[in-house]
Amino acid sequence: MKKTHILLTLLAVTYGVCAGLLYSACNSEEQEVNYDLDPSISGAALVPQGEDSTYTCTLSQVWGVYGWFTPDAEMSWSGGGTPESGSGSEFTTSWASSGSNTLTVLVDGSDTDTNIQSGTIECTNVAEHVVTVVKIASATASNDVICYRNTSTITGIPDPLPEIPAGNAVWTNLSSNGGINPGTGDTTIYTPSIPSATNNDIEIKGECGTSSKSAFITAVGVTGMTFVVVGAGTNTPADTLGFTDVGTATALVSPANRPLTWSWTLEYQVPNDPPVNITLTPAGDTQSASIAVVSGSGSGKIRLTAVDNDTHCGWYRIITIGCAGCSAGFCPAFGNGAIDVHSVSARFSLGSGYRGSSAGFLHISSTEMSPELSRPSLDALGSSDGPVHTDDCEGIEKGHGSYST
């Protein structure tokens, strides 16, 4: 009876019964029990191009003399890049090209394991794991020409789509201008600190494994504006264009030779004067513009603006047109003159101001009697001193600055 009981038990195991814990047999020999090792591969399914990745093969446990255990087995790997194949429970490899790859492990459990009750492991098992190798195909800037006061977002485009592996791309600012944040991820934001010296001199590099791509950015700055009056001498008030003068405004732009748009708007109009009217003519390279007052124009102030066509950042300057004192709101329109003669002292009134104040006077006097008093001579300024302006007003408003949109 005892021998019969043992034989029945072995037959039951052979057909995969054994309390439902053992797997199907690979053959029907009564003296051996064959087990399915059920291997599985764990490891990243999305990896950067050229970067090492490690994969692990694990086996299912089987029931033995001493309980559940993992049997010994030989494992052979294939489908890798470098190296292409290997052995053991762990396998490290990398792929030099992007695309889809199938990693395969062959598990051979034919060696006898004395822990198994009256049997050996003879089944051959196979596991597969699909690995997608990704490279960065391009780095694209949301704006590759920006005002240096603005930002640009750089995005890494993966190949194949749709995503870059976690921790990639790794971003680097290869210029000394400004910075980027964050340093890793699908996108990064670049913020310049100063205008570019040349076009495309800012390089933001993205890396995914051994692959890399860069975006090139130009940070434009209109950082100032000069204004000169043709033929002006030392007596010419700054930023003032007389009725008969011609002025030249030049924008300070970096990088050089950027296309600019010039315009002007009225800031202040002298009351009861004709409207301010000027002609504004940009030069061929648009870096400068000439300004002339139209005949019949009144006095006032204008805001002269130069704006970069692509980035809309620019600079403005306040220019006084006509009479600088009148544009300040308190200097005269001419009134009636009067002369008072007191021996060797003569005073010539210059009339009344627009609001009734004195426009000043011209006073000629001598401390002693001399023959020259009977023979007046014409006084003149040197030719290098330029036009004479008789404004005696101070506190004229000036202004200039930059802006961006």
Which are the contacts of 109, defined by CB distance < 8 A and separation ≥ 6?
35, 37, 71, 72, 73, 74, 121, 122, 123, 124, 125
Structure tokens at 259: 């296309």
User: In whole angstroms, what is the distance from residue 279 CA to residue 248 CA?
Assistant: 12
Is the pLDDT reported for residue 140 higher than 70?
Answer: yes
User: In whole angstroms, what is the distance from residue 302 CA to residue 311 CA?
Assistant: 24
Per-residue pLDDT, 387: 37
Per-residue pLDDT, 60: 85
pLDDT tens for residues 60-91?
887 777 777 777 788 999 999 999 999 999 99
CB distance 206 to 156 below 8 Å: yes
**Average pLDDT of 229-247?**
80
Is the pLDDT reported for residue 259 higher than 80?
Answer: yes
User: In whole angstroms, what is the distance from residue 241 CA to residue 232 CA?
Assistant: 10
Regarding predicted confidence, which is higher, 73 or 18? 73
**Average pLDDT of 241-245?**
89
What is the tally of helices (H) and strands (E) in the chain? 2, 28
Split at pLDDT 50, 70, 90, the class of 327 is low
CB distance 255 to 218 below 8 Å: yes
| Cβ neighbours, 10 Å, residue 142 | 15
Structure tokens at 30: 């009564």
CB distance 98 to 160 below 8 Å: yes
**Average pLDDT of 83-104?**
98
Main-chain dihedrals φ then ψ at residue 339, nearest 5 degrees: -120, 130
Q: Where are the beta strands (DSSP E) in 192-310?
A: 202-208, 211-229, 240-241, 246-254, 260-269, 278-282, 288-293, 300-308
Split at pLDDT 50, 70, 90, the class of 344 is low
Give the predicted TM-score (pTM) of the model: 0.71
User: In whole angstroms, what is the distance from residue 151 CA to residue 198 CA?
Assistant: 18
Ordered by where they begin, the domains of the chain are 2-134 (2.60.40.10), 136-221 (2.60.40.10), 222-328+396-403 (2.60.40)
Hunting for tokens 């008072």 — which residue is that?
Answer: 340
**Average pLDDT of 264-286?**
94
User: In whole angstroms, what is the distance from residue 179 CA to residue 172 CA?
Assistant: 9
- Per the document, the length of the chain is 405
Per-residue pLDDT, 67: 75
pLDDT tens for residues 26-72?
443 434 555 677 899 999 999 999 999 999 999 888 777 777 777 77
